[in-house]
Structure formats: structure tokens, C-alpha cells
Amino acid sequence: MTETDFTQPVYHESDVDRRHVDDKTVAVLGYGSQGHAHAQNLADSGVDVVVGLREDSSSRSAAEADGLRVETPTQAASEADVVSMLVPDTAQPSVFAAIEPELDAGDTLQFAHGFNIHYGQIEPPEDVDVTMIAPKSPGHLVRRNYENGEGTPALLAVYQDATGSARQEALAYAHALGCARAGVVETTFREETETDLFGEQAVLCGGIAELTKMGYETLVDAGYSPEMAYFECMNEIKLIVDLMYEGGLAAMWDSVSDTAEYGGLTRGEAVIDDAVRENMEEVLEEVQNGQFATEWVAENQANRPSYRQRRKAEQNHEIEDVGERLRALFAWADEETNEETAEEREREPEVSADD
């Protein structure tokens, strides 16, 4: 374990005893974004892996082509010592209901996101371990990093330790994924879930999308061309985010022009002001008190009417049409399209439970 300036424990390969997973069978339920990476990395690390998919799942042929054994979710769970629940959040409760009778005392129920445990959508038996290993990267990068001999940082959490060795087993699982090469940061189901949802809603997805659209609309409404508005408010986001990702805010400020730095430092807080912070605090409160989770569960039970309406409106925004035409000018466009086609499973799809 790394004893540095981190506020939470960080584990590396030297902290892990792989025997906690090497002699066990792991059932990976789902073969989407995280599922395919977990299954392949575990198998390449010598772990006995079985993929759980329904018999008519479109992912079966892909898993089998990757050299993995595929069974139904219930059969896979019945064979396994560790059941890794990697189907979409919305499908997990129904999948869990099907596989719960196959969980034996001392087995492990593992997650990559804490939503259903934290908000009580899944209530595991008291005699099983409940853990989380959550790589902080899309599945295709978890796989790519592993193949390159590199690691992807991950989060570790233990919700229920029935055996007394839940943490050691979770770390062994993370080691087999390749995550311990980079570092495994300990957290809790509550912290992972609430920070993840808040980040998605207020900053990473909701916040950035709304900021981008408002900037675009402000320029277009002022008479500037849609093309110029797109380049300045959408296209260049990646350039700035890459700088922040690689070196933090300081590296970003050092890399942009002095004019950009002064303008950003003096005008940014006029746009993102205390009122925005208050709105963010409201978003966080709805995550913390379960209001968002209740709303999202009800939305799915009603077959997602609001979700579909909002998604359609987003797809029909003018910035999407302008962007599609402009992106075709870039050399990377064809490569990006091909990669997206191969990685359509990266999104959380609207599929039945066992996908």
C-alpha cells in the first residue's frame, strides 16, 4: 500500500496475493463495455472465466470468438465463486433475481458501480461478500492498456465482508485485470456512487453539454456563423480537456496563450458563478437523498418516456448537424467512425437483462 499524500489507501501489485482469485471461477455477467474487458483480461491472467449471457444474446458470438466459454447467467453463477455483475445498471436487479439462488455462502458478488447496492435495488444475502472493482476508464481502454502491459487505475470498495477476505479477493481480481499495475484506490460504495452520479450530471455530461450548447447558441444568435461557433465551443474542448487530463489546470493555463489565460481567469467565474454552485449543490442533494435514483428507477419502469423525448431533442439540436458536416473534414473521422462501430457496446444499451 502506498503511504503518500493520498487521503485514501492506494494498492499496487506488490500488495496483492493473487491466490485469492487464481483458484476460483469468475462468472462475468454481460459482455458490454466493462464485461468484455474484464472477461478477456481475467482469462489472459490465467483465471477460470465463464461469461454469462442469455441464449439469444447478440454478444454470444463475440465472446465465443474471443475464446471464452459462454453459459446462461444462472448456469454461470452456479459454477462461480465470484459473480461479476457487469450488465447495465437498469438490468441488474432482474438479473440478480435470477442468479440469487445460485449464490452459495462464501461466494462473492462483485460490481463495477455501486448504484443498485447503495440505493437498495439489490439486497444481497448476508453470507456472501459484496465488493466493487471499478476501473476508471471505458472498457476498450482497460483492455488496450492490459495488452500493452500497462494498467488502468481502479476503485476498490467492500460493502459486505462475510468471509473476512473480501478486500484481499477484490485486490486479486484487480491485479488480474491489470489495474494494480497503475494503482487501486480504496473508497466506499456510497462515495463511488454519489460522486460518480454528481460528476456525470453536473460536470462531465450534463454540465459540459449545456455549457457547449449555450456558448454555441450565444455566438449564432449574435450573427456569427454556425461553423465558427462550432469550432470555438465544441471542437476545441478536446484540446483543452486533454491538457487538463495530462497535467491538471496548471498545465492547461501554461499551454494556452496569455490572452486566453487572462480572459479565462477573469471571465470564467462570471459565467460559472455562485448561482451555478448553488445549482450543483441541489443536484448533489438529489443524488445523496435518493431522489435521482427514485426518479430514474420510475423512468425505466414507465419505459423511459422522458428519457426518449430528451434524447431525441438533443439529437436534433443544430450543433449536431453542423458538427457532423465539419467533423468529416478531419483525417481522423473515418478511423473514429470505425472504432465507434466496433465499440458500440461502450454505451449502456437498451437491452434485456442478460446482455
Catalytic annotation, pick one of 20, 36, 38, 113: 113
Do the beta carbons of residue 64 and residue 70 sit within 8 Å? yes
φ, ψ at 109 (rounded to 5°): -105, 115
DSSP code string of 104-151: PTT-EEEESS-HHHHTTS----TTSEEEEEEESS-HHHHHHHHHTT--
Contact yes or no for 327/230 (Cβ under 8 A): no
Report how far residue 29's alpha carbon sits from residue 26's, in angstroms, rounded to the nearest whole number. Answer: 9
Q: Are strands 69-71 and 48-52 parallel, antiparallel or unpaired?
A: parallel
* Phi-psi sector, 83: left (phi>0), alpha (psi -120 to 50), beta: beta
List strands edge to edge, sheet with 154-160: 10-11, 184-186, 154-160, 129-135, 108-111, 82-85, 25-29, 48-52, 69-71
HSE-CB at 199 with a 13 A cutoff on CA atoms is 7
Which residue stretches of the chain are H helix? 19-22, 33-44, 60-65, 73-79, 92-99, 115-118, 139-147, 166-177, 189-198, 206-221, 226-230, 237-255, 258-271, 274-288, 291-301, 305-315, 318-327, 333-342
Respond yes or no: is residue 113 known to be catalytic: yes
Active site residues: 113
